[in-house]
Structure 1
Amino acid sequence: MKERKVFGISWNVFLLGLVSFLNDMSSEMIAPIVPSYLTDILKIGKLASGSIMGLIESLSSLFKVLFGYISDKFRKRKAFVALGYLISTISKGALAVTHSWWDFLILRILDRIGKGIRTAPRDALIAESSEKGKSGKSFGFHRMMDTLGAVAGPLVAMGLLALLANYPKELAYRYIFLISAVPGVIGVLIVLLLVKDKGSEVKKKIKGISALKSSNLRIFLVIVAIAALGRYSYAFTLWKAEELGYSVFQGLGFYALFNVIYALSAYPIGYYSDKVGKKIIITIGFGIAGLASLIFAYANNLPTLLLAFVLYGLYMAIEDTIPRAYMADLAKEFEKGTVIGAYHTVFGVFVFPASIIVGYLWQTYSLTVGFLYSAVMNVIAMIMMALLIKES
């Protein structure tokens, strides 16, 4: 029986996009207030805050290759996807009762573990649910839905902050943490009740050379590692806004703008990458990342800060979408979870020290120096990617 389609993509991909919308709404309701919560409520210093944010964003990737591999073996992606979303949902709601850096860190680590469990199996399921030659379109749609949730989340948080304006800041933050679990619960129910596994429909090939032995793929993973060393946490962009005198509430607006650009760009970029080649788009993305970091470094007024957030959103739309599709295209059918997980793991290992380095440069010198460091790393990645395309 021919599978139902929505907006030209499979029903499964559509549902997974909807789940990501709900989960990211949940996550992004709290993401913009976390930097302020760390520094103003929990009274954590700059270097420690940067390190915690980097550790949080890195940890999930350490689990991605493991659970990608396991899902390849069992050909059952759905169970891991549901479990991962459930763990993340519970951990976000429980932030409402944190009172120190260590219980905050434990819950954020649990959230990242949940992400690590679900990401590679989910991306493999998206790849298995996509038409041949249209992986960029499917991943682009998924990232678009994910980021629309990231647009809705800060807007909901802004509304809640306005409603809770007469409450103490700490109490308002705790209410938002608690409410953030609601869309996450709905997403888990959608996975359990509506999403279907595709592993049994994919012919398992036990012979053949793994894509991980390809020299081009290994070089690409080296490039990913270099770029990850220059990818600072979103928190630094909000700290930059605060440094220029903008409030946490105004920072939510900047963050929403970034996510609007991300959401509007991800689907057309994914679709276009199927036409012109994913490596070209990835190379351009690194260039945009370098430019965004350079502008963040020297932004001193509203127009330049807005431009930096726009470019940052465009860069994230590319680099959070196209490398996944590129790895899915390279992977054999029997190893999609493992190969996609390897990408996420390499990225995660190297993105952790990035935020520590930028945090150190911020504390020792200035945020400007931290952003300049990031710009240099992304330019190096862009040049190496261009050389990879030339030699291919």
Structure 2
Amino acid sequence: MDSTSPVHESSGSRRLPRNVKLLGWASLLNDVASEMIFPLLPRFLLKFLGGSEAWLGAIEGTADSVGSLVKLWSGGRSDRGAGRKRFVVFGYALSNLVQPLIGLILLPWHLLALRVANRTGKGIRTSPRDAMIADSTPPEIRGRAFGFHRGMDHLGAAVGPLLAAAFLWFCRDARPEVFETRLRNMFLLTAVPGALVVVLLWLGLREPARSRGAAVSAARADETPGSREGHPEGTRSIFSADVFLAKHGFPPKNGPVPSRVSERPTLTLRPFDRRFRLYLAALVVFTLANSSDAFLLARAGQLGVAVWLLPVLWSMFHVIKSGGNVLCGRLVDRVGPRPMILAGWVYYAGVYLAFALASEAWQVWALFAAYAVFYALTEPAEKTLVANLAGDEHRGLAFGWFNCAVGVATLPSSLLFGVLYQAYGPLAAFGSGAVLALAAAALLSRL
């Protein structure tokens, strides 16, 4: 079977599908590259580019929000016959093309431009990738599949900082200008694992099969009144469906297939019920509470954690997230996603408040470990709930709305946190996050 042949695991299989495993390994390699950079970005911006905490909030918030708008488009578009694989491969390629260029920049706005481009690539791939995982996985092991993927992602995010820490250890006595040069060279070296990601997915990923009913619905959703011109009433929707199905391995029933059809995605919430919309509203409120984790690294530096230990701290954080996601993914399949999310959001409020009250460097290590548990409780559960609430024919669009809602709220969240942190200190910033997290949990409890 070639790499573009449709695949789908039988519903009775308890093994993780091939696509899930490949996407997990791709995420691992991608995060080895990206997480060699991310824990050092705050210091790089503040010390070598002349930026501030407000700049940090603007960069991370803008980048995530732009990427999230792209996630909505790519999710809906991947439902409409373009296929999911091409979005996944191109998105990873774009991110890993621009990421090493951070080693060449001189000013804060250069970093803003590259982070926006990097997050655009992430936006292109994320919703189709999540939908591909759901398409390839039977419902009874969906939590396990998302847990495995997130676990591999975080394992890569643990390896990357360790490589960065080893690199920095050999530079610990270097003069500032030498240290900066070596740091930039390390950023450039992230091109190597990034290239491996693209090759792995291009050669190994297979387009998942979709049900005939889902394909028919997706094809009919592309129609506009003008698309019926030249066709007898009642025949155009069947014809459009056959065009879509033919692209995915189903033979047409009603004669020859034209070479082109309208495939414009419908980027609205109309296909979804009240429960899905309420879930999105709760996610937006929670995301306003959850600013960029770069602020936690900045807080760690303020409390006395040495710069060369920041990658080690970040690595420990992701090791716990990795193991926790695998375990909690299985738990989601047993108790359901909603209780896990509720528990995670309430727990988050307590941990965030503790970050504000911390006063010693050793406390940072305990708090990062505790914060990792929050991710384990919520990451597999949040995506499983999206897949459960969305129908097969609109799964990509559902993940698009999920990722878009989270990302768009990230900009005001990070901007607000940065301003509060700079003007009033950590208690105001972290305290506001804790209050909003509890409000989001109260809203989700109505689902």
Short-chain TM bin: over 0.9
Structure 2 CA distance, aligned partners of 1:138 and 1:373? 34
Structure 1 CA distance, aligned partners of 2:82 and 2:394? 10
| Letter paired with 1:268 | L
| Letter paired with 2:72 | V
Structure 2 CA distance, aligned partners of 1:317 and 1:58? 23
Structure 1 stretch 6-15 or stretch 110-119: which is displaced more?
6-15
Aligned twin of 1:268: 327
Question: What is the SS of the residue equivalent to 1:320?
Answer: helix
Would the alpha carbon gap of residues 297 and 188 (structure 1) be closer, same or farther in structure 2, given more than 3 Å must change?
Answer: same
| Letter paired with 2:166 | G
1:204-229 per-residue CA deviation (whole Å, 9 max, x = no partner) reads 35459988431111111110000000
Aligned twin of 1:349: 408
Aligned twin of 1:24: 31
Aligned partners of 1:261 and 1:314 also within 8 Å:
yes
Unaligned 5+ segments in structure 1 are: none
Of 135, 155, 172, the residue aligned with 2:182 is 172
Structure 2 CA distance, aligned partners of 1:104 and 1:6? 46
1:52-81 per-residue CA deviation (whole Å, 9 max, x = no partner) reads 122223321111110011111025111110
1:307-356 per-residue CA deviation (whole Å, 9 max, x = no partner) reads 32112111123333321111112211111110011010011111111111
Structure 2 CA distance, aligned partners of 1:7 and 1:191? 23
Identity within the alignment, %:
32
| Letter paired with 2:191 | A
Aligned twin of 1:340: 399
1:72 aligns with 2:116: no
1:191 aligns with 2:201: yes
Of 200, 211, 214, the residue aligned with 1:204 is 214
Q: How far did 1:155 drift?
A: 0.4
1:90-112 per-residue CA deviation (whole Å, 9 max, x = no partner) reads 11111111111122211111100
TM-score (norm 2): 0.83
Question: What is the SS of the residue equivalent to 2:445?
Answer: helix
1:140-175 per-residue CA deviation (whole Å, 9 max, x = no partner) reads 000000000000010011111123443622212211
Q: How far did 1:2 drift?
A: 8.4
Structure 2 CA distance, aligned partners of 1:370 and 1:124? 35
Alignment map for 1:172-251 (pairs within 5 Å): 172-199=182-209, 203-207=213-217, 212-251=271-310
Question: What is the SS of the residue equivalent to 2:79?
Answer: helix
Aligned partners of 1:68 and 1:121 also within 8 Å:
yes
Aligned partners of 1:285 and 1:318 also within 8 Å:
yes
1:111-162 per-residue CA deviation (whole Å, 9 max, x = no partner) reads 0000000000000110011122221110000000000000001001111112
Aligned partners of 1:71 and 1:337 also within 8 Å:
yes
| Letter paired with 1:227 | F
Aligned twin of 2:231: none
Aligned twin of 1:288: 347
- C-alpha RMSD of matched pairs (Å): 2.1
Structure 1 CA distance, aligned partners of 2:8 and 2:420? 55
Structure 1 CA distance, aligned partners of 2:210 and 2:282? 34
| Letter paired with 1:361 | L
Aligned twin of 2:444: 385
Structure 1 CA distance, aligned partners of 2:430 and 2:57? 13
1:360 aligns with 2:367: no
Unaligned 5+ segments in structure 2 are: 1-6, 222-268
| Letter paired with 1:383 | A
Structure 2 CA distance, aligned partners of 1:259 and 1:132? 27
TM-score (norm 1): 0.94
| Letter paired with 1:359 | G
Aligned twin of 2:56: 49
Would the alpha carbon gap of residues 200 and 333 (structure 1) be closer, same or farther in structure 2, given more than 3 Å must change?
Answer: closer
Aligned partners of 2:271 and 2:394 also within 8 Å:
no
1:141 aligns with 2:148: yes
1:122 aligns with 2:129: yes
- Bigger radius of gyration among the two: 2
Aligned partners of 1:295 and 1:305 also within 8 Å:
no
Q: How many residues align?
A: 388
